A = this chain, B = another copy of it.
């Protein structure tokens, strides 16, 4: 009996289609003969689609995507400064709309320095941690507005909304993850300044910590956390933080672990009410699109996260191992397709 997994594939813009092609190559290779069949539906979404049709993400798109078991996304976003995209905001209208509507409250972003990956740090030490970034609230909700817009008397407000419901579920996920890893959890926030948002995060971490006496809990202000990410990244295991701080920390973490070309992510709805979405942390990089210059590794590692989420942990581990082996053996430039094929060949 074969298991059928319905997979929505959103290649997107720029280098998105190129890296997704390699991710699919690896997915096909690892599941060949395994009894798991991926039934794929492709969605043409992103800046290119917007320029053609004026649509960013319609209700029909959303319904069709939601009917899948999982989503693989490349990258979305057009050429920066393209005047035709001035009012589009593909990020909010497509990427964030998917994360919010599909209730991806865990934005899971592992950071690992692989043997052979050249990072910018002189003495990186061992780096292997996971950022559990809240994905559905905080400063990302779009709550706010402006009065006297465009005048010298404009006042523009942007409100971070944090709910006990929203914070608790992601904090619980982070503690459960810490239990399965090194039992060390760091809350990152700026509680001394953002007193209202900070207080609810600190309270809930304290409460959930009481149920996990075996997890060592640490707290760092976000500014101090950026220092430690470059001077002592080994100190981290599980970091839990809000949507904005998580965005910042994971790009920085990508940089210190050999580049954003290796950083994978999962936008997860742990309840299973909606399909989870897996995507590289990097963007669409229009400047190098179509040139086979992009590194598909982040997209391929996103497939490993996807497989793990689907309970296919053996297949997931095989993909990770193939990537690790490939990185360890890297020398000289290869095309996007060559990297994908090399990793697929190890499976």
- Contacts from A to B (Cβ < 8 Å): 89, 91-92, 96, 120-123, 139-140, 142-146, 148, 150-165, 168, 190, 192-200, 203, 222-224, 226-227, 230-231, 244, 247-248, 250-252, 254-256, 259-260
Contact = CB atoms under 8 A, between A and B. Distances in A.
A146 B197 CA distance: 8
Q: Give the oligomeric copy count.
A: 2
Contact of A157 (B153, B161, B251): B161
Contact of A140 (B150, B193, B200, B255): B193
Nearest to A150: B203
A210 to B, nearest CB: 15
Contacts of A222: 247-248
Given A150-B203, A153-B164, 9 more contacts: A121-B121, A152-B168, A156-B162, A156-B197, A156-B199, A223-B248, A226-B255, A230-B252, A230-B255
Contacts of A148: 164
Given A200-B156, A223-B251, A227-B255, A193 B91 contact: yes
Given A152-B168, A162-B155, A194 B139 contact: yes
A297 to B, nearest CB: 16
